[in-house]
Amino acid sequence: AQSVTQPDIHITVSEGASLELRCNYSYGATPYLFWYVQSPGQGLQLLLKYFSGDTLVQGIKGFEAEFKRSQSSFNLRKPSVHWSDAAEYFCAVGTNTNAGKSTFGDGTTLTVKP
């Protein structure tokens, strides 16, 4: 069965500092990978996705993620964090089922210090 692990429950960075959120997946076939962001009191919104091709993918809000098959990882990065990036971030892997389900990690909460 597929699974997604986000090792960091909570990360604090200073505004303007770089950010990396970790995601490891377990999936038998070619993974389809997603990062979502949830701002306080809101639903989840897609940041970026990886299906195939270039292993470095760009998303919205200046985020990028790199797929590394050898490490089963799909880490999210941003060169310079803004206060508005404070949110919860979820990594997910798509499952090849009849309903287009995804398996989500438990999330990483990002706090941004002034």
Partner 1 sequence: DVKVTQSSRYLVKRTGEKVFLECVQDMDHENMFWYRQDPGLGLRLIYFSYDVKMKEKGDIPEGYSVSREKKERFSLILESASTNQTSMYLCASTPGQGAKNIQYFGAGTRLSVL
Q: Which residues bind partner 1 (CB under 8 A)?
A: 9, 31-32, 34, 36, 41-46, 49, 51, 90, 92-102, 104-107
Spatial CB neighbours of 53, under 8 Å, sequence gap ≥ 6: none
How far apart are the C-alpha atoms of 14 and 49, rounded to whole Å?
Answer: 26
Cβ-based nearer residue to partner 1, 53 or 99 = 99
Q: Which is nearer to partner 1, 62 or 94 (CB)?
A: 94
Least gap, CB of 32 to partner 1 (angstroms): 4
CB of 84 to partner 1, least distance (A): 18
Q: How far is the CB of 99 from partner 1 (least distance, A)?
A: 4
103 phi/psi in degrees, rounded to 5: -105, 125
Looking at the Cβ atoms of 87 and 92, the one nearer to partner 1 is 92
Among 1, 13, 11, 7, smallest CA distance to 105 is for 7
Cβ nearer to partner 1, comparing 13 with 33 = 33
Q: What is the nearest approach in angstroms of partner 1 to the Cβ of residue 85?
A: 19
Query: What is the DSSP annotation of 49-90?
Result: EE-SS-SEEE-GGG-EEEEEGGGTEEEEEESS--GGG-EEEE
